[in-house]
A and B are shown apart, each in its own frame.
Chain A
Amino acid sequence: DAGVIQSPRHEVTEMGQEVTLRCKPISGHDYLFWYRQTMMRGLELLIYFNNNVPIDDSGMPEDRFSAKMPNASFSTLKIQPSEPRDSAVYFCASSTRAGTEAFFGQGTRLTVV
């Protein structure tokens, strides 16, 4: 398996634009996590899915953020409209049930100017 695949690796966008980050989890993994990493706040859990269903989105910072998982092999995190304070590295991770480690993608570095 190729591992967790995120795209794009880097994204630079202007304030107010819509941004969509994509993630393909490892086949057979039924949990998918989205994290945001910043220097100030470390790795924050934004939302996680089990069998394509959102379980906990309490970490989503505000209504500008939304996430979907239309099928077992694809998830998106959308920011609309984007703001400079959204600049961060966004990670997607997948795993099987608790007791096993989560595997991370390479991350998407988002810069909003």
Chain B
Amino acid sequence: AQKITQTQPGMFVQEKEAVTLDCTYDTSDPSYGLFWYKQPSSGEMIFLIYQGSYDQQNATEGRYSLNFQKARKSANLVISASQLGDSAMYFCAMRSYNTDKLIFGTGTRLQVFP
């Protein structure tokens, strides 16, 4: 069975600082993908970054990077140089390449303060 765990219900970070949002996962599938989504207060789900289980390098997209540690089954999101507009809910997700099932963690609410 697949499972995603986000243990931080809420995080605070000062503007311009970096922040790490934790995500651990569990799966018996050898091939899978890991995703992060952002949900601002307006409610839409915005895709941020993707990491494949066989990718050798950590994914990066602008100020977002994914710290992928396969042996530890963790896929933490790092946001560098935080901005006020980064305040939102952040969801970690996993998709099995075997079943194509896409599941989400419970989310972390990030608040960026000046």
Contact = CB atoms under 8 A, between A and B. Distances in A.
Contact of B100 (A43, A89, A98, A104): A98
Contacts, number: 59
Interface string B83-96: 00000000100011
Contacts of B96: 98
Contacts of A93: 45, 102
B43 A42 contact: no
A42 B95 contact: no
A31 B101 CA distance: 10
Interface in A80-103: 89, 91, 93, 95, 97-103
Interface in A98-113: 98-104, 106-107
Contact of B101 (A48, A100, A104): A48
Contacts of A14: none
B43 A43 contact: no
15 contacts: A31-B100, A42-B105, A42-B107, A43-B106, A45-B102, A45-B104, A56-B99, A56-B101, A98-B33, A98-B100, A102-B47, A103-B47, A106-B43, A107-B43, A107-B44
Interface of B: 32-33, 35, 37, 43-45, 47, 50, 52, 91, 95-97, 99-107
